[in-house]
Amino acid sequence: MKILQAISRLDRAGIRFLRIAISVILIWIGALKVVPYEAEGITPFVANSPFMRFFYHHPEQYSEHRNKEGELVPENKIWHKANNTYGYAYGLGALLVTMGLLLLLNRVHPLFGVAGGVLTFIMGIGTLSFLVTTPETWVPALGDAHHGFPYLSAAGRLVIKDLIMLAGAMVVAADSAKRYLAR
């Protein structure tokens, strides 16, 4: 019983830890967006999204210019530069870092935390939309009986994890709003 009582008092610390965890993820991944492999890695998502594809100059050509992580194909790098792959990634990275910092600035003023939480929630919805728009999120039909829906590929498993980010953003935004209203 004492263990359950101790656990029941972890909610405040849990929300603080959740805020820090989301911030670390956003800042780290946002900072990586300036590295070519990370910028190139999001091309299938952006190129297939009806809401984001306009950021690329030639979204329909992305599959011809994909690099594996750690692979150097100079012609593909040139294409990605001309396609605005890197420019889009720099902007997205700056947005992610800003969102992470806003969550941490909750200590300064709760409205920063509200803004960070709401932006993170919106980002989560956008990311989860890739399950519908990006063919690479499902196991391809290459002969095995297990392909397509509901069989998530590595990209799909990466995307579905944003459900946690979405829920966490909701919790920290609500916590920040409560703190602001209590002032």
Residue 2 resides in a domain: no
- CA 68 to mean position of chain CA atoms: 20
Domain contains 3: no
Q: What is the pLDDT of residue 1?
A: 87
The predicted model gives 3-30 an average pLDDT of 95
Number of domains, the chain? 1
Q: Is residue 98 part of a domain?
A: yes
Domain-located, residue 5:
no
Residue range 90-141, pLDDT digits in tens: 999 999 999 999 999 999 999 999 999 999 999 999 999 999 999 999 999 9
Average pLDDT over residues 69-81: 93
Mean pLDDT throughout 45-51? 96
72 or 104, which is more confident: 104
Predicted confidence at residue 64, as pLDDT, reads 94
User: Looking at the domain assignment, is residue 79 inside a domain?
Assistant: yes
Q: Average of pLDDT values for 69-93? A: 95
Can you give the residue range of the structural domain that contains 148? 11-182
Average pLDDT over residues 160-169: 96
The per-residue b/e assignment along 162-177, b for 16 or more CB within 10 angstroms, e otherwise, is: beebbebbebbbebbb
Residue 1 lies in a domain: no
Does 45 score more than 90 pLDDT?
A: yes
Tell me: pLDDT of 170 over 90: yes
Bridge partners (DSSP) of residue 138 are 152
Nearest-angstrom CA–CA distance, 93 and 158: 17
Find all residues with CB under 8 Å of 80, minimum gap 6, and list them.
36, 39, 40, 43, 65, 86
In the prediction, which pLDDT does 123 show? 96
Q: Is 6 within a domain?
A: no
pLDDT value of residue 183: 86
4 in a structural domain: no
In the predicted model, is pLDDT for residue 68 greater than 90?
no
Average pLDDT, the chain: 95
